[in-house]
Structure 1
């Protein structure tokens, strides 16, 4: 069996192929959007190397799979997503994130101030995930003006950034790191 090559040369002129076979500019908003989803997944991969809790790692792996599912849908023509039977995000996925947020949040003190990113290394990387997730959300909303995004994707991404925020606080607590608060100086 011949091994396929990683490079195809088909993108050398600035075009890339969607799942259904259409060619599109690598500079398009759609390519930018699913590239951001891929970047978020990569940052999340870094976070997984810094967390030792097996249950949390399973949750983060589940999220990575869901992000890959979302990226595959964005990389496919809208009219062909069902034809290719791509895994879809669902309301149950959003509900699952909400349950995880609520469970983690019960372990935390109520916030009185804004939290600055920092504390443990894992916490800092989770804040990067949170901010990249917000960027994905902004680009997704902008893309919605052009074409519909996969079902439940906006809700999922919105909850996911909240999850990263709460998880970052939880990780700092578990690791015994103090949260860093933004407290405005009064003159």
Structure 2
């Protein structure tokens, strides 16, 4: 079976509920940006050194499908009847990660470079893609009714990616420090 349908050859696509819309519509641009974000989150998750961070990111990747699905549906009630959705519990989860990591990580008193580790740099890419998707979501929300739960979740995401990037940079820094101590210990022992 072919993966192409030819249904979009004239610049339109079908939403979750079957409605045909232009591929350049605000709705399609918005869920497309969150799809791009999710692909970047998947890449970041593969680069992470922290198993805890990998698990957290996988959870967010999974939730992103519900976010995209709801945006890709003109009839929100129909989507909510047939799928899981983003709730305030999901926003509180992001906030709990942000709060915990903010308390654990060294304080920041100035702007930071976007990533000193590979995973940290990729998570900053996630943060910037997220900010663009959020701006598109705001435009989309002015044209379409959106649930406040979705708005709150989208608003927390870029802060979440920022703190995840800091966490991965910190983990990489600690690993480098441990490696250097071990290297010096080994050199002293052999010398």
- Structure 1 Cα separation of the partners of residues 93 and 80 of structure 2: 23
TM-score (norm 2): 0.86
Residues 90, 152 of structure 1: 8 Å contact kept: yes
Aligned twin of 1:163: 160
Q: Does 1:34 align with 2:31?
A: yes
Candidates 72, 79, 89, aligned match of 1:81: 79
Structure 1 residue ranges, 4+ long, deviating more than 6 angstroms after superposition: none
- 1:6 is aligned to 3
Q: Which has the higher helix share?
A: 2
Aligned length: 173
Unaligned runs of 5+ in 2: 175-191
TM-superposed CA distance for 1:36, in Å, is 0.2
TM-fit CA distance, 1:137: 1.0
Select the structure of larger CA radius of gyration: 2
Provide the C-alpha distance between the structure 2 equivalents of 1:71 and 1:108, rounded to a whole number of angstroms: 31
Quick check: 1:100 aligned with 2:97? Answer: yes
Q: Give the deviation of 1:103 after TM superposition.
A: 1.2
- The alpha-carbon deviation at position 82 of structure 1 amounts to 3.0
Specify every segment of 5 or more residues in structure 1 that has no aligned partner in the other structure, as ranges.
178-187
Aligned-pair distance for 1:76? 1.1
Contact 1:89 1:150 in 2 (8 A): no
Give the superposition deviation at 1:149.
Answer: 2.2
Change beyond 3 A, Cα 1:143–1:165:
same
Q: 1-side partners of 2:49 and 2:112: how far apart?
A: 23
* Contact 1:33-1:139 at 8 Å conserved across structures: yes
In 2, Cα distance between equivalents of 1:52 and 1:112:
25
Counterparts of 1:26 and 1:16 in 2: how far apart (Å)? 6
8 Å Cα contact 2:17-2:75 kept in structure 1: no
Residue 151 of structure 1, CA deviation: 4.1
